[in-house]
Amino acid sequence: MFGKKQIFALLLALLLVTSAGVVAVGATADPLGSSTQAQTGEQTDVDDVDDVDEVYVEENGDAILVYEEAHDDADDADALAGEFGLETQSGLMHVLYSGTFDEFEDVDQDELGVAGDLSVKMTPESITSSGDLTTNTTDDVENLEATVENTRTRTTASSSADVTVSVATAENAPAVGSATVDAETKTTASTFTSAGSVSASLPADSVAAQGAGEHLEVTITETDGTYDLEVVEQTTVFDWERDSWDTRADAEASLESRYAGVAMGLGGTADVSLEEYDFEEGDSEHAVSLEYTVTFQDVKDQLASQLAQQLATNSEFDLDEHEAQSIADRIAALEVDRIHYSLDASGTDLSSEWDVAIDNYDELVLGFVEIAESVDDLDDDLADQYDEIGETIDAQNEADLVRTSSWNLSIDVEEDRTTYAFTGQSDADNWEAYVTELEDRGLEQYVGETTYEFDAQTVDDELEISYDYESSQDEMLDRALDQLIQSAEQDGDVDEDVVETVENVRNSEFEVAKLSASVDEESFEVRSAAMFDNLAALEGVPIETDDNLTVTAVHGETDDGTTTTYVTVEEFVGEDASESQIREHDRVGEETAVHEPGEWDREFPSIDDEAVQSYLGVADDGSLLPVDTPVAVALLAVIALVAAGAGVFYRRRS
């Protein structure tokens, strides 16, 4: 496997050129005279600034400053080659680097064990990604097959998963020979139902398998606030508790004592009726079989009354008695249609089933929402979110939205291998009507579209992975930035600069960003780019230096262990400056090669706008072409990858 040392070496090499490399890696001084006041509170002496290697001056006084840095002290620096660029006029950023594994001292593809292609792309309203990767596996994982699909559009919401895998059995694995779980659920805006079963086969030598047979069956129903509990129970009684169960009268008294305490705690009463009783005497363990009914009365009314009193008297909530009682009644409106549970255990076999149906749970949710909204110092944005919860429940009711799901999990534990198998699916009826209801209520933030497919399988000693992901939503980026600002403002430890930075990103009018990477047996390539309509809105762009120089473009090339950086500067000197006037500049030293206006004819590296726009999927008119893309966290990774290097440049050379 690829160890930490190799991972660190590769990341270091990549960062060498995509961040620090962008500013001539290894520089110990600040060639453009960094304003360290922003970093340390102290001002840099311009006399300490590194001299530029070459300067090319234009007639209007603008100049291209050339810095050349050999990475003699950086391991594996000559293993990478590529270019980077940032231009404020076009609003483009671009990084492209590649390398071959045989040139790295501590990294080779056999140890890395990863090959394939990956791409991530983002626009203000979408994120897409796709990848095909192959990686090494360990002996712990065998026979992995996984397929996961999810579709959420304006008209459909469904998902499915099918996964099987065999792994090495852990030393502390539970004593389970095999187990299977089946479950189904169905929800509407106001109802919830669930049914399922569990079965397990225990090893013959396990402690649980040594006990006598156990049986428990419980059913709870509600009628007009009265709860009926029906129980069928067969259990083991030991000698020390025999006196409480060895006669029918003792058993009835024990049950009445048990449930009277429960009812008292809930503020109601409990009546116990023992229908069936049987006691089988053994040597030191005895078996008792019971069938009985418990009726709880006045429980719901008492709970509602207690809750209303607590809400009305709690100083954190701004509620009068009428409001408190209204909220308590809403919470108490939850109805238990039925709750049924059974458990059977005999020898090595264990099984259980459940069946649950609950009504009016939307009233319960809305009741808690009203409690939260009553808090005196509740933030306005948070209050709006609570309002939206109520609106979404109304939308579900109006659309008659019905969600269903089912899944199955099986586990088979053997001495050296454990096999897991999982299948599941979910679906939604009337989803299109629900989306329409949300839009009618102005809740577009809940109407995003997402689709993805993921496949993985082991082939010999390798794991093959492929996936496609796409997500889109109106104003996706703006909503994400709003959440960042809200989180920052609510966190007292967050610096105000964080909010300002987020606002700068918004004002930069981000258009598109993309990151792609490919790795094969011999080499790798990493490329990223981003485009902004107003790049100057980003902090430090254009780059302002201590002595009032404005940097409008940065380009660089890395080859044979050397990075050459070209910095375009406005008004470096006056118009038609002579060599002597140029050499008077603080950044020009005795060994600087000076090229006066009109005395040089050279082309410098620049971003190939057409090629980068094609890579980004942008047409000549600036509109986005329909291309694939991927994952949200990757959005920030894309921008960060391109902007991080420039950010380092800003701080170290501005």
Interval 260-281: pLDDT, tens: 988 888 888 999 999 999 999 8
Confidence band for 205, pLDDT divided at 50, 70 and 90 = low
Q: Pick from 390, 416, 442: which residue ends a domain?
A: 416
Say if residues 277 and 290 touch (Cβ distance below 8 Å). Answer: yes
Q: Mean pLDDT of all residues in the chain?
A: 79
Give percent of the chain above pLDDT 90.
39
Q: Is residue 496 situated within a structural domain? A: yes
Say if residues 561 and 64 touch (Cβ distance below 8 Å). Answer: no
What is the rounded CA–CA span in Å between residue 569 and residue 604? 14
Residue-wise pLDDT tens digits, 533-587: 877 666 555 555 666 778 888 898 988 888 898 989 989 999 999 999 999 998 8
The segment with the largest mean pLDDT, out of 36-45, 134-143, 214-223, 480-489, is 214-223
What is the pLDDT, as a whole number, of residue 15?
34
Confidence band for 236, pLDDT divided at 50, 70 and 90 = confident
What is the rounded CA–CA span in Å between residue 443 and residue 429? 20
Residues sharing a CB contact under 8 Å with residue 62, sequence separation 6 or more, in sequence order: 568, 569, 570, 571, 572
Q: Residues, the chain, total? A: 654
What is the pLDDT, as a whole number, of residue 650?
30
The whole-number average pLDDT for the span 283-289 is: 89
Whether the per-residue pLDDT at 622 is higher than 90: the answer is no
The whole-number average pLDDT for the span 371-392 is: 73
3-state helix, strand, coil in the chain (%, to 5): 30, 40, 30
Q: Is residue 129 situated within a structural domain? A: yes
Task: Tell whether 599 and 500 lie within a shared domain.
Answer: yes
What is the pLDDT, as a whole number, of residue 53?
93
What is the rounded CA–CA span in Å between residue 183 and residue 424? 9
Q: Rg of the chain's alpha carbons, rounded to an integer? A: 35
Whether the per-residue pLDDT at 373 is higher than 50: the answer is yes
Residue-wise pLDDT tens digits, 441-456: 988 878 889 999 999 9
The whole-number average pLDDT for the span 386-405 is: 91
Degrees, nearest 5: CA angle 45-50-53: 150
Confidence band for 86, pLDDT divided at 50, 70 and 90 = confident
Task: Tell whether 189 and 331 lie within a shared domain.
Answer: yes
Q: Higher confidence at residue 309 or residue 651?
A: 309
What is the rounded CA–CA span in Å between residue 298 and residue 226? 7
Q: Strand 191-201 vs strand 349-359: parallel, antiparallel, or unpaired? A: antiparallel
What is the pLDDT, as a whole number, of residue 582?
92
Say if residues 286 and 236 touch (Cβ distance below 8 Å). Answer: yes
Q: Higher confidence at residue 50 or residue 551?
A: 551
Residues sharing a CB contact under 8 Å with residue 583, sequence separation 6 or more, in sequence order: 592, 594
What is the rounded CA–CA span in Å between residue 626 and residue 629? 10
A 10 A CB-CB count for 377 gives 6
The segment with the largest mean pLDDT, out of 213-217, 400-404, 511-515, 590-594, is 400-404
What is the pLDDT, as a whole number, of residue 44?
36
Nearest-10 crossing angle of helices 476-490, 632-653? 70
C-alpha distances (whole Å) from 615 to each of 88, 526, 625 are 19, 13, 10
What is the pLDDT, as a whole number, of residue 311?
80
Q: Copy the structure tokens of residue 316.
A: 């954190």
What is the rounded CA–CA span in Å between residue 135 and residue 113? 5
CA neighbor of 648 nearest in space, from 41, 30, 72: 30
What is the rounded CA–CA span in Å between residue 420 and residue 180? 10
Task: Give backbone dihedrals phi and psi of 510, rounded to 5 degrees, phi first.
Answer: -55, 135
Whether the per-residue pLDDT at 39 is higher than 60: the answer is no
Region of poorest pLDDT, from 462-471, 521-530, 640-649: 640-649
Q: Is residue 451 situated within a structural domain? A: no
Q: Is residue 358 situated within a structural domain? A: yes
Q: Pick from 375, 390, 416: which residue ends a domain?
A: 416
Whether the per-residue pLDDT at 484 is higher than 60: the answer is yes
Confidence band for 383, pLDDT divided at 50, 70 and 90 = low
Task: Tell whether 346 and 489 lie within a shared domain.
Answer: no
Q: Is residue 627 situated within a structural domain? A: yes
What is the rounded CA–CA span in Å between residue 269 and residue 356? 24
Task: Tell whether 198 and 107 lie within a shared domain.
Answer: no
What is the rounded CA–CA span in Å between residue 636 and residue 122? 9
Q: Is residue 586 situated within a structural domain? A: yes
Task: Tell whether 70 and 199 lie within a shared domain.
Answer: no
Say if residues 331 and 368 touch (Cβ distance below 8 Å). Answer: yes
What is the pLDDT, as a whole number, of residue 11?
33
Say if residues 105 and 75 touch (Cβ distance below 8 Å). Answer: yes
Q: Which residues pair with 445 in a beta bridge?
A: none
Whether the per-residue pLDDT at 17 is higher than 50: the answer is no
Confidence band for 90, pLDDT divided at 50, 70 and 90 = confident
Q: Is residue 381 situated within a structural domain? A: yes
C-alpha distances (whole Å) from 264 to each of 261, 302, 310, 398 are 5, 10, 18, 41
What is the pLDDT, as a whole number, of residue 485?
75
What is the rounded CA–CA span in Å between residue 243 and residue 247? 8
Say if residues 630 and 1 touch (Cβ distance below 8 Å). Answer: no
The whole-number average pLDDT for the span 95-117 is: 75
The whole-number average pLDDT for the span 289-314 is: 86
Whether the per-residue pLDDT at 245 is higher than 80: the answer is yes
Task: Tell whether 482 and 349 lie within a shared domain.
Answer: no
Task: Tell whether 607 and 544 lie within a shared domain.
Answer: yes
Q: Pick from 416, 432, 451: which residue ends a domain?
A: 416
Burial label, 299 (beta-carbon count in 10 A; 0-12, 13-18, 19+): buried
293 in the Ramachandran plot: left (φ > 0), alpha (ψ -120 to 50) or beta?
Answer: beta
Three-state secondary structure call for residue 510: strand
Whether the per-residue pLDDT at 623 is higher than 90: the answer is no
> Cα dihedral sign for 338, 339, 345, 351?
positive
What is the pLDDT, as a whole number, of residue 464?
94
Task: Tell whether 491 and 601 lie within a shared domain.
Answer: yes
> Cα dihedral sign for 565, 570, 573, 575?
positive
Task: Tell whether 480 and 407 lie within a shared domain.
Answer: no
Task: Tell whether 583 and 526 lie within a shared domain.
Answer: yes
Instruction: List the domain range (segments joined by +) for residue 386.
Output: 181-211+298-416
What is the pLDDT, as a whole number, of residue 38?
33
What is the pLDDT, as a whole number, of residue 206?
58
- According to DSSP H, which parts of 43-183 are helical? 109-112
What is the pLDDT, as a whole number, of residue 359?
93
A 10 A CB-CB count for 353 gives 16
Task: Tell whether 306 and 192 lie within a shared domain.
Answer: yes
What is the rounded CA–CA span in Å between residue 223 and residue 556? 77
The DSSP-derived string for 285-307 is EEEEEEEEEEEEESHHHHHHHHH
Degrees, nearest 5: CA angle 207-208-214: 145
The whole-number average pLDDT for the span 80-85 is: 87
What total number of domains does the chain contain? 2
Q: Is residue 497 situated within a structural domain? A: yes
